[in-house]
Amino acid sequence: MNDLKQLEKRVGVKFKDINLLRQSMVHRSYLNENPDFGLPHNERLEFLGDAVLEIIVTEYLFIKFPETPEGDLTNWRASLVNSKMLSLVAQEIELEGNLYLSRGEAKDSNSKARQYILANAVEALIGAIYLDQGIKKSSEFVHSKIISKLENILENELYLDPKSKFQEKSQALHKTTPHYKVLSETGPDHDKIFEVGLYLGDELVCRGQGSSKQEAQVDAAGKGLKEKKW
């Protein structure tokens, strides 16, 4: 496990109470195996950090883009604070090596589950910074690590989810609304894998897979954008 002092350097915050930083890294599963650890898990800090993150990002967008409609601002904010973005931030600051996880959770290679754990830890970290240093330092971290990614998001329209983007392009270029069809369902009820086809009219553009129909559709739309070079 990495030294918390090194994590402080990567985060850019010198904590007055290092236990706040430590607690932000504690997953619930760790305490099941280590009940005498001495600190709670990070879910309350995550709850706080989520609110702090949202107000910092919302205030920035509100002030920076005075002419932009509320709907667009909502999409832009969502693209900055979603689990995919926050897990990317976690990777950039090499946070995973500092997580306190159960042995089973540490070995779990489920990338989706790990993405949520990392994203939640970033929110908990923001909560810890806020309690230890206040809104100014929290804002510096959020601007440096998260809001700094907005330019790339806007430039590449990453605030549009793949399904929305594929539909916009297909309607603009082909005057056609894409549709999705479930091609197969495999696996037991608690662990199903869906395969869906993405169609433009009768044309099967590509296939997508996921643990839900929605996830499979998003996968298909992402592949469809690459297939069509959109």
Mean per-residue pLDDT over the chain, rounded:
93
Range of the domain at 95: 4-155
Do 64 and 106 have their domain in common?
Answer: yes
Q: In what order do the strands lie in the sheet with 179-186?
A: 179-186, 193-200, 203-210
| 170 and 81 inside one domain | no
The verdict on 28 and 90 lying in the same domain is yes
Residue 104 sits in the same domain as residue 56: yes
Among residues 112, 136, 155, the one where a domain terminates is 155
pLDDT at residue 60, as a whole number: 98
The pLDDT of residue 86: 95
Instruction: Please report which confidence band the pLDDT of residue 85 belongs to, taking 50, 70 and 90 as the band edges.
Output: very high
Cα distance between residue 60 and residue 122, in whole Å: 19
What CATH number is given to the structural domain containing 45? 1.10.1520.10
pLDDT digits (tens, 9 = 90+) for 151-181: 999 998 888 888 888 998 999 998 999 999 9
161 catalytically annotated: no
Do 26 and 74 sit in the same domain of this protein?
Answer: yes
Same domain membership, residue 215 and residue 148: no
Q: How much is the pLDDT for 157?
A: 80
Distance, CA of 116 to CA of 191 (rounded, Å): 18
In sign, the C-alpha dihedral spanning 47, 128, 18, 10 is: positive
**60 and 143, same domain (yes or no):** yes
Q: Are 4 and 98 in contact (CB under 8 A)?
A: yes
Tokens standing for 169? 């392009």
At residue 1, the pLDDT reads 52
Residues 173 and 88 in one domain: no
Give the model's pLDDT for residue 92.
97
pTM of the model: 0.76
Q: Judge whether residue 9 has pLDDT over 60.
A: yes
- 83 and 144 share one domain: yes
121-145 average pLDDT score = 98
**Distinct helix (H) and strand (E) counts, the chain:** 12, 3
The residue from 17, 105, 108, 123 that is catalytic is: 123
What percentage of the chain reaches a pLDDT higher than 90?
A: 75
Please state, in angstroms and rounded to a whole number, the distance separating the CA atoms of residues 166 and 230. Answer: 8
Domain count, the chain: 2
* Last residue within a domain, chosen from 102, 132, 155: 155
Domain shared by 75 and 171, yes or no: no
| pLDDT value at residue 10 | 96
Confidence of residue 2 (pLDDT cuts 50, 70, 90): low
Residues 187-199: tens digit of each pLDDT: 888 778 999 999 9
| pLDDT score recorded for residue 110 | 67
Decide if 123 is catalytic.
yes
Active-site entry in 50, 132, 195, 219: 50
Integer angstrom CA distances of residue 79 from 57, 82, 153, 158, 193: 11, 6, 8, 7, 26
CA dihedral 97, 101, 102, 108 (to 10 degrees): -70
Mean pLDDT of 10-24: 97
**Last residue in a domain, options 106, 129, 155:** 155
The CATH number of the domain where 167 resides is what?
A: 3.30.160.20
Mean per-residue pLDDT for 71-78?
89
Same domain, 88 and 178: no
Q: What is the per-residue pLDDT for 199? A: 97
Same structural domain for residues 171 and 150? no
Measure the CA–CA gap between 122 and 142, rounded to whole angstroms.
10
